[in-house]
Amino acid sequence: MNSVTRRDALAACSLAATGLLTATTIGCAQRNEARVFLARNQRYDGDLVRTIRAGLVAAGLELNELRGKRVLLKPNLVEPSREIPHMTTHPTVIVAAAEVFRTAGATVKVGEAPGHVRDTQTALIISGVGEALDGAELEFADLNYEAVGYRANRGKFSQLRGIYFPQSIVEADLVVSLPKMKTHHWVGVTGAMKNLYGTLPGIKYGWPKNVLHHNGIPQTVADINSTLPRVIGIVDGIDCMEGDGPILGSLKTMGLIAVSASLPALDATLARVMGIVPERLEYLQLAAHRLGPIADEAIEQVGEPWRDVASPFKILDRPHLRNLRSSADGPLVT
């Protein structure tokens, strides 16, 4: 009789989390265990296709299962600025991820609903993403203005009864969160889970999305992630943002790419790298019991151990952020 190892179980759990494989008789505990891939010494002019492909495989994604599937890549283009390129997902990361999924036989589209910019075309131009997508012949979906579909709120962390998603999100077989690794002046960290705010259309939620803010940012982050099926994360942690993120912070170069099929585990690992205790981030507290693990012992690290690449990020010196540190000696900025 063949035995099933913990690694086998984690791989199957990761697949089940993407919706590309259902939980099997091996006893998958997908909400209690996860795998996170970290790669160091990454550059925008390096072989990101190879790194991302390795990360997806390590995270448990069977690329051959993607043939004929519709994949929606969701970068972060919140409020692009040529003076602050480390605010938004780098175009080369987006194109590299698209190549991996295309090579696997998937139909790939890039979509975003910038929260601070009504003119999405301007955001594409300023960020350089539009030119990169044109060069790669990638379709772009303006998620702020698409027709929408309504889904009942499966999370019920907030008072929202349901959530409107753009048609490209509703139709996708797999949504890939492609955030920039950054601090956040309200919630502490913005990563793969918070990035999915940009799947919600401005025509329903405004600019910025104050309907969501008024219902609680941690609660609505958890609700969106609960209601969106089939999501994985690939994080641009090469040039990052620290301090007054997610818009006005300063550059911090880390040279990292991170990948996981569990967004809570991915964001928890990023937080640890940044010198922040994930159990003290409210949206991760909510997610931990229903969406995926955040405890260090429940996350299998593949590639680089997070401790080997950890480098504390500066955070704002604000009362609601001071308790996030794993050490009282972490850097603060006013």
Tell me phi and psi for residue 261, to 5 degrees: -90, -5
Local confidence band at 141 (pLDDT 50, 70, 90 cut-offs): very high
Tokens of residue 150, six digits: 């309504």
CATH class of 35-333: alpha beta
**Sign of the Cα pseudo-torsion (194, 262, 224, 168, in order):** positive
* Residue 155, number of CB atoms within 10 A of its CB: 22
Residue 215 has pLDDT above 60, yes or no: yes
Q: Say how far apart CA 208 and CA 118 lie, in whole Å.
A: 9
Tokens of residue 108, six digits: 């790939």
Residue 198 has pLDDT above 60, yes or no: yes
Out of 25-29, 117-121, 202-206, 262-266, which region has the weakest mean confidence (pLDDT)? 25-29
**Burial zone of 300 (CB within 10 Å; 0-12 exposed, 13-18 middle, 19+ buried):** buried
13-69 tens-digit pLDDT: 444 544 453 332 223 334 578 999 999 999 999 999 999 999 999 999 999 999 999
Q: What is the mean pLDDT of residues 229-255?
A: 96
Q: What is the mean pLDDT of residues 167-194?
A: 97
Task: Kindly report the pTM of this predicted structure.
Answer: 0.90
Predicted confidence at residue 31, as pLDDT, reads: 54
Q: Phi/psi zone of residue 156: left (φ > 0), alpha (ψ -120 to 50 degrees), beta?
A: left
Domain boundaries, the chain: 35-333
Predicted confidence at residue 289, as pLDDT, reads: 77
Residue 264 has pLDDT above 70, yes or no: yes
8 Å CB contact between 292 and 31: yes
Out of 53-57, 280-284, 300-304, 326-330, which region has the weakest mean confidence (pLDDT)? 326-330
Residue 330 or residue 8, greater confidence: 330
8 Å CB contact between 187 and 217: yes
Predicted confidence at residue 20, as pLDDT, reads: 54
Q: What is the mean pLDDT of residues 126-136?
A: 97
Q: Which amino acid is at 98?
A: A
